């Protein structure tokens, strides 16, 4: 699967809880994807996506600098598939605002998150 980043799709991770960010980062790397982040806030994530868009993103809804929705809006507009990974918003609530986004509720079983991540990267590669 070739992408803009060669053979390794790039996945942006935005998560402000250190242990969860570390776990998500390891999962991304274990799948052979290139990791962008993790970022605890959307401000630093915006700097990263201004330089190069990822192939997919895993976003916590509430970050160190507030709700992640402005970042999600920018990624959606750019055609980047998003996985919302949150303990505060249900997948149903996410789909009302972002019909094409994927979502899982924390704690999310690792196998389910891996399936969602693969689906998001494949969505991006298909476009």
DSSP string, 40-108: SSHHHHHHHHHH---SEEEE-SEETTEESHHHHHHHHHTT--EEEEESSS-HHHHHHH-TT-EEEESSP
Band of residue 43 on the pLDDT scale cut at 50, 70, 90: very high
- For 23, phi and psi rounded to 5 degrees? -65, -45
What is the per-residue pLDDT for 4? 47
Query: Rounded to two decimals, what is the model's pTM?
Result: 0.92
CATH at residue 79: 3.40.50.2300
pLDDT mean across residues, the chain: 91
Q: Is residue 40 in a domain?
A: yes
Query: What is the percentage of the chain residues whose pLDDT exceeds 90?
Result: 77
Q: Is residue 5 in a domain?
A: no
What is the per-residue pLDDT for 124? 83
What are the tens digits of pLDDT across the range 61-80?
Answer: 999 999 999 999 999 999 99
What is the per-residue pLDDT for 3? 44
Residue ranges making up the domain that contains 50: 10-126
Strand order in the sheet with 82-86: 34-39, 10-14, 56-59, 82-86, 102-105
Q: Is omega for the bond preceding 66 within 30 degrees of 0, making it cis?
A: no
Assess contact for 124 and 107: CB atoms under 8 A.
Answer: no
Q: Is residue 49 in a domain?
A: yes
Q: Is residue 4 in a domain?
A: no
């Amino acid at each position: 699967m070739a992408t803009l980043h060669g053979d390794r799709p790039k996945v942006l991770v935005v998560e402000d809880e250190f242990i969860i960010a570390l776990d998500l980062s390891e999962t991304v790397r274990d799948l052979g994807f290139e990791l962008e982040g993790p970022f605890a806030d959307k401000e630093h994530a915006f700097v990263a996506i201004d330089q190069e868009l990822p192939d997919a993103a895993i976003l916590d809804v509430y970050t160190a600098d507030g709700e992640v929705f402005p970042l999600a809006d920018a990624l959606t507009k750019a055609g980047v598939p998003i996985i919302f990974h949150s303990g505060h918003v249900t997948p149903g609530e996410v789909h009302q605002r972002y019909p094409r986004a994927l979502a899982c509720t924390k704690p999310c079983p690792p196998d389910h998150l891996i399936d969602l991540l693969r689906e998001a990267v494949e969505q991006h590669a298909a476009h």
